[in-house]
Amino acid sequence: MKKASYEFASVLAPEFQGYFALRESQGHQYTREFHYFKRLDQYLIEKNVTEKSITAPIIEGWVQSLSSEMSVNTKIVYISHYSQFAKYLNTLGIAAFVPERPMDDKSYMPYVFTEGEIARLFSAADNLVNTGNDFGFANVEFPLIMRILYGCGLRLNEVLRLLVGDSDLHSGVLLIRSAKGNKDRLVPMDSTLANLLNKYVSLNHRDSSKDALLFSTRKGERHSDAIVRFWFNKSLEAAGIEKPTLPRYMRNICLHCLRHTFAVHSFRKQDLAGVDMYAAEPFLSAYMGHTRLYGTETYLHMTAENSVDVIEKTTAYTDGLFPEVPR
């Protein structure tokens, strides 16, 4: 098991370790879940819990102790992870309260770039001035990463984990391994993106093995999320796309918005081509790696850019239906 700097020390320390060993054997990443349980372990120590059981008041107190700046949805993630652990404890004969899942906060609306903003954003990414510390990342890899994020609707982690052998340049298909839900999937791409990727591989990976990272540091290691976010923010600034002022806990314009934009632009393109978007939804859901259609349905809500189409269609349909009012 991958070790972390923090060592569990509460009365449930052995159970935490046993749970993580089980999760790793199932293909889950230790580090991605660790911090949720670190907080719970610290809370049990702080409250001097010495009995191997977790009651409802303990969990209610733990949730209330989480940061007041944490969004409702983030707290739901904490509760969801704890619930899985509680079920594990119950299988061991340890009484643990399993809370009901609270309602999600529906206030978050993802930012969707207009086609004009996408053009400006990519132009800015293509003309970044390298600081000299990134060894060509900003000028070579970053613009292509941006195009893959938008052109394939991938998550950043999925792009940074791509191997040279995961790209079938002949057919223009990417293999996404062990994505969210620990599932693999095939992702076709447009020929324009496939051609760019082909040129990149031929120039930068002529002698690389198929197991080499497609995008890597000079030492062959995975790029950090932070370096991609840094140049993304630089591109936003250069493109004149200003981030709104929001509370710290609220999600602002970020790299994941390119995935949102991919989905909305895909639906829009299909709608303008006369394709039933609801019929196309299951295909896009599978393409994006959603486990449920619900994750894709959120993109069916039209953005401001689509409003003109909606108004035109609605006006034609309802013409003469409503009475005029006195002027």
Q: Quick one: 210 and 138 in the same domain?
A: yes
Q: Quick one: 227 and 156 in the same domain?
A: yes
Q: Quick one: 200 and 279 in the same domain?
A: no
Higher pLDDT, 297 or 165: 165
Is 192 a residue whose pLDDT tops 80? yes
Report the candidate in 234, 146, 225, 139 with the shortest Cα–Cα distance to residue 193: 146
Residue-wise pLDDT for 235-279, tens only, equals 999 999 998 877 665 678 889 889 888 888 887 777 676 766 555
Q: Quick one: 136 and 221 in the same domain?
A: yes
Is 302 a residue whose pLDDT tops 60? no
What is the rounded CA–CA span in Å between residue 147 and residue 59?
Answer: 43
Which domain CATH number covers 144?
1.10.443.10
User: pLDDT class for 303, splitting at 50, 70, 90?
Assistant: very low
Residue 327 belongs to a domain: no
pLDDT given for residue 20 in this prediction: 87
pLDDT given for residue 54 in this prediction: 92
> Which range is least confidently modeled, 100-104, 158-162, 222-226?
100-104
Q: Quick one: 216 and 274 in the same domain?
A: no
Contacts of 277-280 with CB under 8 Å at 24 or more apart are none
> Which range is least confidently modeled, 28-32, 117-121, 236-240, 304-308?
304-308
Residue 326 belongs to a domain: no
pLDDT given for residue 307 in this prediction: 42
pLDDT given for residue 64 in this prediction: 85
Q: Quick one: 159 and 200 in the same domain?
A: yes
The answer to whether 66 and 84 are in contact (CB under 8 A) is: no
Is 140 a residue whose pLDDT tops 60? yes
Q: Quick one: 143 and 231 in the same domain?
A: yes
Domain count, the chain: 3
Q: Quick one: 205 and 140 in the same domain?
A: yes
* Domain that residue 52 falls in: 13-91
User: pLDDT class for 26, splitting at 50, 70, 90?
Assistant: confident
What is the rounded CA–CA span in Å between residue 285 and residue 283?
Answer: 5
Is 305 a residue whose pLDDT tops 50? no
Q: What is the mean pLDDT of residues 191-197?
A: 91
Residue 265 belongs to a domain: yes
Residue 112 belongs to a domain: no
Domain final position from 37, 67, 91: 91
Residue 124 belongs to a domain: no
Q: Quick one: 219 and 296 in the same domain?
A: no
User: pLDDT class for 320, splitting at 50, 70, 90?
Assistant: low
What is the model's pTM? Answer: 0.61
Helix (H) or strand (E) holding 186: strand 185-188
Q: Quick one: 69 and 146 in the same domain?
A: no
Q: Quick one: 161 and 218 in the same domain?
A: yes
156 vs 40, 131, 185, 273, CA distance in Å?
28, 22, 15, 29
User: pLDDT class for 182, splitting at 50, 70, 90?
Assistant: low
Domain final position from 69, 91, 113: 91
What is the rounded CA–CA span in Å between residue 238 and residue 59?
Answer: 46
Q: Quick one: 218 and 265 in the same domain?
A: no
Residue 25 belongs to a domain: yes
Residue 21 belongs to a domain: yes
Residue 20 belongs to a domain: yes
